[in-house]
């Protein structure tokens, strides 16, 4: 793609809150410093991508520390019915069915015009710790070819009052948007997932 073509596309994506013009022109740099406990303790958020065989979309892994016990953070992560109020860019959400530790949820991600919202019904397995709290989901049906991932919560560096959160997702929407654009959009928005969780956990009593 020529520079002129990129400059033509950039204004289109400037309307999308979770993208910047720079994200269209360069690959999102991975924050190597955030891999250390010291950097993570200071609030750094790590974003890594893992190539998936047979897919042009990578798996994205986001890590960050939240200043609250894992059990408290779990109250938000495990409650899909409230995702529209507690998670970033969620238009609507509801718990369709629960059977034991299996939860079927319907969630719609809101995307700015002219992109269409994306809905997914997923089935998730919950494991409530200690020592690890986890939510692992797979796609049942919706506006995706694939949508699976997980949340994993555990104590950070042995501190019971701080949570080390790992969010992993591999999502391929059924859209005509080129793969490289979807990839950059996904990567550039990932840190907001941890940032929003930090904000929401402060509201809990």
106-149 pLDDT, tens digit per residue, is: 999 988 777 788 999 999 999 999 999 999 999 999 999 999 99
> pLDDT tens-digit profile of 44-85?
999 988 999 888 788 999 999 999 999 999 999 999 999 999
Cβ neighbours of residue 138 closer than 8 Å, sequence gap 6 or more: 122, 123, 124, 147, 148
CA gap 173, 115 in Å, rounded: 11
Instruction: Give the other-Cβ count within 10 Å of 100's Cβ.
Output: 7
Phi, psi of 107 (to 5 degrees): -130, 135
Q: Give the CA-trace dihedral at 77, 83, 86, 89, to 10 degrees.
A: 120
**Which pTM does this prediction carry?**
0.79
CA distances to 22, 107, 135, 137 from 203, in Å: 33, 22, 22, 26
């Amino acid at each position: 793609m020529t520079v002129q073509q990129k400059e033509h596309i950039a204004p289109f994506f400037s309307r999308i809150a979770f993208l910047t013009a720079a994200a269209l022109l360069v690959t999102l740099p991975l924050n190597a410093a955030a891999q250390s406990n010291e950097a993570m303790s200071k609030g750094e958020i790590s974003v890594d991508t893992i190539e998936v065989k047979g897919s042009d979309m990578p798996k994205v892994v986001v890590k960050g520390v939240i200043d609250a016990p894992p059990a408290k953070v779990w109250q938000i992560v495990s409650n899909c019915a409230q995702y529209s109020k507690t998670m970033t860019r969620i238009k609507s959400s509801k718990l369709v069915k629960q059977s034991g530790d299996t939860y079927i949820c319907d969630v719609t991600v809101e995307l700015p015009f002219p992109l269409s919202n994306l809905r997914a019904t997923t089935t998730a397995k919950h494991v409530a710790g200690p020592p690890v709290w986890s939510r692992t989901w797979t796609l049942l049906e919706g506006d995706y070819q694939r949508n699976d991932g997980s949340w994993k919560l555990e104590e950070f560096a042995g501190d019971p009052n701080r949570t080390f959160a790992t969010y992993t997702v591999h999502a391929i929407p059924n859209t005509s948007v080129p793969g490289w654009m979807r990839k950059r959009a996904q990567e550039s928005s990932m840190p907001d997932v941890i940032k929003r969780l930090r904000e929401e956990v402060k509201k809990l009593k």
